[in-house]
Amino acid sequence: MARRVWLPLGAAVLVVNAVLWVAAEAITAAAWTDPPYSYATNYISDLGVPDCGTRFQGRDICSPAHDLMNVSFMVQGILFALGVVLLARLVKGRARRVITALALAHGAAFVLVGLFHGSGENSNLALAIHVGAAAIGILCANTVAIMAGSLPSLGLPPAYRIFSVTVGVLGLLSEVLVGVSVSTAGVFERGGVYSWLLWGAVTGSLVLVERRRSPAMVENVAV
């Protein structure tokens, strides 16, 4: 596949991926009305639980549009993996293999997140798969962002490199802080997820803008 095809395709996929996630999450959360869904205290995974009227870890669970969120989990994983794998072709040697492996691991992990729900009604094994897959997916995606900014051989603009490393590090730190307080669990979890979505949207947008402005410079604004 020619560079003029796979480069803008990978960039567009990352942008679309971020938009689709935010839209699906907002629609699913809006459908949750009794009790109202809280972005601050509820986990994102709560939106995908099919067991309405249950209570899990002190949270009342009822997500009428859970199917939409579960599909979104899986689609997000596939699109993020596709976008990063396409852009990773700009990287040479071991770094490309590492980035590709991280992207594919993230994709597989989020497919599992969508298939196995974060519900107390699940078996211990299913719940463990959901939690473990989510942790792996979050770790891999944020590491991709950090690598994108830390590889000097790419010749990326300093501002973009700082952004990539910072957003990835903050994403990982946010995930560590999820358990600090039940009142902020949803906030910190989103910090660990929105980090790579923001990175993908910014990276994809920059690639598309630079390609339109100067096709010869696109190598300097991609992963």
pLDDT digits (tens, 9 = 90+) for 130-154: 999 999 999 999 999 999 988 875 6
Q: Are 28 and 47 in contact (CB under 8 A)?
A: yes
| Count of structural domains within the chain | 1
SS3 content of the chain, % helix, strand, coil (to 5): 75, 5, 20
Q: What pLDDT, on a 0 to 100 scale, did the predictor assign at position 183?
A: 81
Q: Are 155 and 219 in contact (CB under 8 A)?
A: yes
Q: Return d(Cα 116, Cα 144) in angstroms, integer.
A: 24
Contacts (Cβ under 8 Å, ≥6 apart) of 119: 49, 50, 51, 54, 56, 61, 127
Q: Return d(Cα 193, Cα 174) in angstroms, integer.
A: 9
Residue 57 structural domain? 3-221
Q: Return d(Cα 144, Cα 106) in angstroms, integer.
A: 10
Measured CA to CA in angstroms, residue 100 lies from 6, 36, 85 at distances of 15, 39, 5
The one-character DSSP state at 46 is G
The one-character DSSP state at 122 is S
pLDDT-flagged residues of the chain (< 50):
217-223
Measured CA to CA in angstroms, residue 160 lies from 35, 84, 165 at distances of 41, 16, 9
Q: Return d(Cα 47, Cα 37) in angstroms, integer.
A: 9
| Helix axes 185-213 and 124-150, enclosed angle (nearest 10) | 40
Q: What is the pLDDT of residues 77-107, one digit of tens each?
A: 999 999 999 998 888 889 999 999 999 999 9
Q: Quick one: CA dihedral 187, 190, 191, 194, positive or negative?
A: negative
Q: What pLDDT, on a 0 to 100 scale, did the predictor assign at position 90?
A: 81
